Structure 1
Amino acid sequence: MEASHAAFAAPEPTVHPQPPAAGYLLRMFREYQNNSVIVAHYNYTGKLTGNKYRDGLKPVDIVFLIICLLIILENTVVLVAIWRNKKFHLPMYYLLGNLTLSDLLAGFTYMVNIVTSGANTLRLTPVLWFLREGGVFITLAASIISLLAIAIERHVTMVRMKPYQGAKRGRMFGLIGASWVVAALLGVLPITGWNCMGGLGSCSTVLPLYAKSYILFCVSVFMGVLLSIVVLYARIFHIVKSNTQRLGVGGGGGVVVPPSLRKGSARKSQKYLALLKTVTIVLGVFIACWLPLFVLLLTDVCCRPGGCAVLFKADYFLGVAIVNSLLNPIIYTLTSRDMRRAIIRLLCRHCLVTKDGHIRKIGVQFLDYSTSKTEVVSHRVEGLENTVSTGNITPSQIKALYSKVLRS
């Protein structure tokens, strides 16, 4: 009877297991929408012991918000000045514009980060957390890589000596595209799987959902960028020094240099100092703003959760790094005579610009834009020196330009 009953029993349903990839994606999707993951990770790293994630904005947050607003306004003015002046529609200004855009976006994304931090952090889902942190990371990475792109362009210009405009424009767009592609790839790695969800032991304290291995990888990349910038500017300085010395001893190749041009060679030491000063400012500001954050992140990689109290002050270190986006436009664009003119005309057209389009004299030398014949000659000479200091001119161009100045 039992055998007969067993013969008519319904067969057990066949279970078809999901493919491993589909199961992983489904599990990842569920975890990315689970708010409790944020609480668990922040609690494990010890960041919930204080009142930071219970209170609203603090005074230091207000200060950083003001800095972000200044970054946005400052870089917007520079972008508008570049867009409205056709003389800036040149390849080299494309890189400066890209740097300005990345700094503007860095200020905006960090402002969003501040507003959604504190008590709002614990209300986020992991996917929103990754988008918040990834946005700041991508824009800051784009800013850093843009500095490297500018150094590469200046170095290539000095090495090739005679860049063609078409090739130079293509090279500019290639550098700009590469900077954003690399920054985007670095920024999306955590949300695509390189994170510590499911493995609390490998989590960063500064960024509790990021894996320490990812933090170490990114710091290594950025330190490599810094080293590359140092090497490129050192080579540029060496090339400019060599070219100016050849010009000072007679130009080489039996070329006779006019006596008035020889007088200019007496100022070559000043040119070296000018270039060295510019490079020192560029690298000094970059290192001063970013090195503290790099050191903090390396400390994060080495410390166990809750073992280093300084890691809970990471907002200050990131705020200092953001200041670099405030200073970049000043260093790379506002030190340009033409850019200063364009920005002054844009902001103070009614108070400083005369009816004939000149800038009123107000006792400041760099605001004097008179176009008399004598001043045009002096501006050409000064422009030559500035161009030499940035490493974007060849010895033959120096001779030709000085000849034009002397004829004037």
Structure 2
Amino acid sequence: MGSPYTAYWDPLTVQEHYNYTRGADERRGSPLSDPVSVLIVIVCSLVVVENLLVLVAVWRNQKLHSAMYVFLGNLAASDLLAGVAFLANTLLSGKHTLVLTPVTWFIREGSAFAALAASVFSLLAIAIERHVALAQVKPYRRGGGGRMVLLISACWVVALAVAGLPALGWNCLGRLQACSIVLPLYAKDYVVFVVSVFTVILGTIVAIYAHIYCVARSSHAERAGAQSLVLLKTVTIVLGAFIICWLPAFVVLLLDAACGRFACPVLAQASYFFAFATLNSAVNPLIYTLRSRDMRREILRLLCCWGMLGRGHRAQHCRQPLRSSSSPEPCTHKHDLPTAPIMTTACATSV
């Protein structure tokens, strides 16, 4: 009797599963021939550029090396990988799907699952860090570096473990009746497991943010000052964005686990719901970083300097990393008043 992993290398296995779950009329054209797929490629490219800009900003400015910004950098890294993974997933869909072996299919889908899971776990880590920061009314002490490393490492280890389970055997190869319709090589019970994990995470984030709200309303928050109010507003926006972006995908996955073959036509459009969930990776930098003056200044400085370099101007000082946001802006003239905008007119035209 052969090894159960022999089917992992059979190129006909993927086609068999797609024909069973979706029928022989499954779309097999080029992914770029679909306008929606082209739009997804554009959005994923924006996600990559946006989060790459955040990572560069955090790396360059030493004032952004605090605990909170380290977690934001981790979130940006996971969101960047989510954009790359979903971009590759889109470009390898359509007619390219049916030439994949189960191994390459698991890599294609697993990378997207791992990146999106890491993004969600990073949101949870940020919620925990914000809770600790508000409770202590100050960032982590020096001894908190180990906790940060442990929390960030746990995000990626758990994300990779969850995404790698199907490749390790939790799949429906040889059991077509147990296959997911949205993800034809994944077992339905695995899909239910994933939905359950994300639901628990969502509930945990809601509980943490609810406690933050209670603390912010208490007398303890009076010592924290306006920072607590800003945090509370940011947390509310983040929670709303998380629910809006992920709830449709959760519903589709639950339908996938409950519906039989061809019983739920909406499952044929599941890729659009996952693409909408990927928008969370584009929204996160806007919520977490553009509400921070330090991050905003560094990003505007980067855009300004890149614009100057693109126009052929001399901008050696643009390559110098800032030690803090209070450092002189490279595009600000010496005679500017302290209340002047971050970027002058000349600089603004370069962005």
Same fold (TM over 0.5): yes
Per the alignment, residue 385 of structure 1 pairs with none
Q: 1:324 aligns with which of 280, 283, 308?
A: 280
Determine which structure has greater relative contact order: mean sequence separation of CA pairs < 8 Å that are 6+ residues apart, divided by chain length. Answer: 2
Q: Deviations over 1:162-207 (max 9, x none)?
A: 6652222211111100000110000000000000011111100000
Alpha-carbon distance in structure 1 between the residues aligned to 2:293 and 2:192: 41
Kindly tell me: are residues 366 and 318 of structure 1, through their superposed partners in 2, closer, same or farther at Cα, counting changes over 3 Å? Answer: farther
Q: Deviations over 1:347-366 (max 9, x none)?
A: 11376x999636659xxx99
Moved segments of 4+, more than 4 Å: 160-164, 244-247, 353-356, 358-361
**1:8-407, aligned counterparts within 5 Å?**
26-50=2-26, 52-57=27-32, 58-161=34-137, 164-243=140-219, 272=229, 274-349=230-305, 357=329, 368-369=341-342
Query: What displacement does 1:115 show?
Result: 0.8
Q: Deviations over 1:307-328 (max 9, x none)?
A: 1000000110010001100111
Alpha-carbon distance in structure 2 between the residues aligned to 1:367 and 1:316: 44
Q: Deviations over 1:189-239 (max 9, x none)?
A: 000000001111110000000000000001000011111111101111211
Q: CA RMSD of the aligned region, Å?
A: 2.6
Kindly tell me: are residues 33 and 348 of structure 1, through their superposed partners in 2, closer, same or farther at Cα, counting changes over 3 Å? Answer: same
Give % identity.
49
Query: What displacement does 1:90 show?
Result: 1.9
- What is the SS of the residue equivalent to 1:75? helix
Per the alignment, residue 324 of structure 2 pairs with none
Q: Deviations over 1:325-353 (max 9, x none)?
A: 011111111210000100111111376x9
Alpha-carbon distance in structure 2 between the residues aligned to 1:322 and 1:366: 38
Kindly tell me: are residues 183 and 225 of structure 1, through their superposed partners in 2, closer, same or farther at Cα, counting changes over 3 Å? Answer: same
Alpha-carbon distance in structure 2 between the residues aligned to 1:277 and 1:104: 25
Larger radius of gyration: 1
Alpha-carbon distance in structure 1 between the residues aligned to 2:339 and 2:168: 51
**Does the aligned pair in 2 maintain the 1:206–1:300 contact within 8 Å?**
yes
Q: Gaps (5+ residues) in structure 2?
A: 309-314, 319-327, 344-351
Alpha-carbon distance in structure 2 between the residues aligned to 1:245 and 1:332: 21
Alpha-carbon distance in structure 1 between the residues aligned to 2:259 and 2:140: 52
TM-score, normalising length from structure 1? 0.73
TM-score, normalising length from structure 2? 0.85
Alpha-carbon distance in structure 2 between the residues aligned to 1:94 and 1:67: 25
Q: Which residue identity does 1:200 align to in structure 2?
A: L
Q: Which residue identity does 1:329 align to in structure 2?
A: P
Alpha-carbon distance in structure 2 between the residues aligned to 1:67 and 1:122: 25
Alpha-carbon distance in structure 2 between the residues aligned to 1:79 and 1:47: 43
**Does the aligned pair in 1 maintain the 2:110–2:163 contact within 8 Å?**
yes
**Does the aligned pair in 2 maintain the 1:359–1:368 contact within 8 Å?**
no
Q: Which residue identity does 1:282 align to in structure 2?
A: V
**Does the aligned pair in 2 maintain the 1:359–1:367 contact within 8 Å?**
no
Q: Deviations over 1:136-187 (max 9, x none)?
A: 0000000000000000111122334566522222111111000001100000
Aligned residues: 321
**Does the aligned pair in 2 maintain the 1:95–1:176 contact within 8 Å?**
yes
- What is the SS of the residue equivalent to 1:306? coil
Alpha-carbon distance in structure 2 between the residues aligned to 1:69 and 1:47: 32
**Does the aligned pair in 1 maintain the 2:113–2:163 contact within 8 Å?**
yes
Query: What displacement does 1:275 show?
Result: 4.7
Q: Which residue identity does 1:123 align to in structure 2?
A: V
Query: What displacement does 1:53 show?
Result: 1.7
